[in-house]
Amino acid sequence: MFGGTGSTADEQPVVLDELVMFATEEGSSLSCRINPAQVSGPRPYARSGATMLEYDAGQLLLYGVVGADGTPLEDAVLFDDAAMRWSKVYN
């Protein structure tokens, strides 16, 4: 997952730029990492309402919707899971 909305310490709304990765571990346990340090490439803009879908094996396409300032985003970014790298593919 990438982005979303949250709130500051004083309860003000904020648009996030967090990458959240889930993985199944041995057995039935689930692990979660937020903003893994080894991710490289140009970090996508903070956004809410975005879509992230599998583009190709091990690659996720992130696009849309609304940026932190409330304006529509017209970009697309690819995340390579094996390389842990972002790359901009549009705009």
| 77 alpha carbon, distance to own chain's centre | 9
Question: What is the mean pLDDT of the segment spanning 58-74?
Answer: 93
The structure tokens listed for 88 are: 């901009």
Counting residues of the chain whose pLDDT is more than 70, the rounded percentage is 100
pLDDT of residue 25: 78
Give the confidence band of 28 by pLDDT, cuts at 50, 70, 90.
confident
**pLDDT at position 27 over 80:** no
Q: CA-to-CA distance for 47 and 4, rounded, in angstroms?
A: 6
Give the confidence band of 41 by pLDDT, cuts at 50, 70, 90.
very high
Q: CA-to-CA distance for 38 and 55, rounded, in angstroms?
A: 22
pTM, two decimal places = 0.83
